[in-house]
Every structure is written in C-alpha cells, then in structure tokens.
Amino acid sequence: MLRWVMQRLDRTVLVAYIFNPRLSVPEFYQHLAALFDIQNWESKSDLLIELGKVLETRHSRGLRTVLIIDEAHGLSPFVLEEVRLLCNFESDTAKHLQIVLTGQPELRTVLNNPDLRQLKQRVALRCDIKALPNVEETAQYINTRLKLAGAARADIFSHGAVDYIFRCSEGIPRNINNLCDNALLNGFAAGEPIISRAAVQEVAETFDVLPPVQRIDEREAPARIFQAAGRAELWAAGKVDGNGNGNGNGNGSFHKNANTVSIDRNSSGVDFHSDIVINEHPIFSESPTTIEELGTAFGRSGLGRGNNGQSL
C-alpha cells in the first residue's frame, strides 16, 4: 500500500523511505543521510546542519519532503525520540519535513508509552485500517483484486470458498491475499476452473490458519434432584419381600424387574463419586414425592445399611 501511494506522488514530493526499523541511533542517521544524499558530515551535528539546509532549500522552492518509516512499531524508544526531534525542522508557517509512521496495531501501544507522550502529542493525523467485517466485503475485495490482476471473470472462487477465506483470515487483507494466491496456484496446477472450499481448506491447513473451532461441552450438568424415573427406581428398590427385607443388597447396586433399568456401581457409564445423574425419559406421572415419603422408602430399601445389615 505504501509503494502504491509513493508511485502516485508527483515529482514535487521527495520521499525518504525506511523499511527496516531495527536500527540504532547512529545507523538511523547514516541511513537518513544516504536517502537525502548528504555526504559531507562527520558527526550528528554536521548531519543535522546539512539536512536543515536541504529541507529549507526545498521548502523555499515549493517542494515537499516526506520521511516514511514502515514497521514503526519496531523502532526503539531512542530512535523514536530522534524522530520526534526531526519535527523541529520548520518555519513560522509550515513544516519542512513531514513524517509518516506506519506499522501493525502494536504501534498504538508504543505511542501510548508514557515516555513517548511528547511524540504522541505531535501526531496530527491518525488512520486505522480495520479488518473486513463480513463475507460480503471480503467477496468484493477478492473480486476487485481479480479485476486489477486482469481476470476475465470474477466468479473464480465459490461462495463456500469465500466464506471459508473470511473465517480463516478474520478479514485481514494480507491473510486474504495469501490464501487466495496459494489457492489459485493449487487450482491452476490441478486444472480446476473454480476454487472450491476444499482447495482453500488445504491451503489453510498448510499455513496453519484454520478457523478456530467452537468448543461445545456436551456433558450435561448433574441432576441435583430426583426426576420421576429416579423416584420410581427408588420406590421399586424399597419394596419388601416376604421376610420384610428390601431388595437392596448393601453393595451399592439394585435391580428392577422386567422393562426396568439396572444400575451398577461397577458400570462404566455412571460415576458414583459425583452427583447422581439419571438420564431417563420421564415415563411416570405420579405426584411429587414428599421428603417424609422419600425417607421412608430409603429406609426400607436397605440402601442405608452396610454389608452386615447395620444402619449406617
């Protein structure tokens, strides 16, 4: 994008473009001197004097000078302070040097550093490029890129492919470009006239940009009350035989007769160390059981006795 802008500036604008932010202060000034073709200098003071002359001469001729620093979020605080001081090249009516800082969203965090508050105060214009918000704008972006590249038709990507591109790229143009370029390359190699969702997914897997999968916890919360089926189970266990003993055997299991469910402590499907979970359909319609009735049934069931028949 920066190169596109620089190519469309007229000849009255001189652009000094720095694309590598990993520079120390001396290296930064050496790079700056080379960009402005300043040769006769030995110290920082000499360089600033010569640079001031160049800027003043160009300004007097109605020419503009712009310093563009890309990846500015990677500049050290010391270099950023030197950049701020370059803003002092000015006259009573205009700035002699216009400075443009571009970078990733981390640049905002850098400028919010309290030690760089004076630099932040010098920022006169700020522009944020947001990610594309939806699939429709992603499709428009892809179609525009295809037309600029000379494509005869814009329906090269299927609707499913465009949707998957948006999900993988999160609407970030650079990610969209990478996915589309590689999907087109794979489609050309395979002789496919239409880029499908499967082709985009293959590219996304290669670049490790698959969309995040929404995790759904399929485990239901344990039931903390007895449902109708649970009450029937307990009542059946509480029925006494001819000797007055319940069906419970004290070993943590009880059984119902035909067409009922057997619950066993050793069963792998039930965790007796957690809350009681009974996932049966409510096929009974009896009235709600009172606490007194439930306690009586529990006592008669034998579940409250140990192996030796003593009450627990």
With CA atoms as reference, report the closest residue to 108 among 91, 127, 124: 127
pLDDT band at 129 (very low <50, low <70, confident <90, very high): confident
Class of 2-122 per CATH? alpha beta
Query: Which one is predicted more confidently, 284 or 231?
Result: 231
Return d(Cα 31, Cα 51) in angstroms, integer: 13
Contacts of 297 (CB under 8 A, 6+ apart): 234, 235, 237, 238
Return d(Cα 88, Cα 9) in angstroms, integer: 24
Task: Specify the DSSP element, H or E, that contains 14.
Answer: strand 13-18
Is pLDDT above 80 for 222? Answer: no
Token pair of 127 as six digits: 């522009």
Lowest-confidence pick of 95-109, 179-193, 202-216: 202-216
Q: pLDDT tens digits, residue range 12-29? A: 999 999 999 999 999 999
DSSP 8-state symbol, 220: P
List the strands of the sheet with 13-18, edge to edge.
13-18, 64-69, 98-101
What is residue 148's three-state secondary structure? helix
Residues β-bridged to residue 66: 15, 98
Beta carbons of 277 and 223 less than 8 angstroms apart: yes
Give rounded-to-5 percent helix, strand, coil for the chain: 45, 10, 50
Pick the CATH number of 135-206 from 1.10.8, 2.40.128, 1.10.3470, 3.30.1490: 1.10.8
Average pLDDT over residues 208-217: 68
Cα distance between the two ends of the chain: 79
With CA atoms as reference, report the closest residue to 192 among 240, 158, 226, 150: 158
- For the chain, give the mean pLDDT: 80
Task: Specify the DSSP element, H or E, that contains 77.
Answer: helix 77-86
Whole-number pLDDT of residue 306: 52
Is pLDDT above 90 for 38? Answer: yes
Fold agreement between 2-122 and 135-206 = no
% of the chain beyond a pLDDT of 70? 68
The residue ranges of every structural domain in the chain are 2-122, 135-206, 219-312
CA 188 distance to own-chain centroid: 31
pLDDT band at 93 (very low <50, low <70, confident <90, very high): confident
Residue 124, classified by CB atoms within 10 Å of its CB into exposed (0-12), middle (13-18) or buried (19+), is exposed
Q: pLDDT tens digits, residue range 256-289? A: 444 444 444 444 444 444 444 444 444 444 455 5
Return d(Cα 105, Cα 201) in angstroms, integer: 27
Q: pLDDT tens digits, residue range 131-164? A: 999 999 999 999 999 999 999 888 899 999 999 9
- Phi and psi for 200 in degrees, rounded to 5? -65, -40
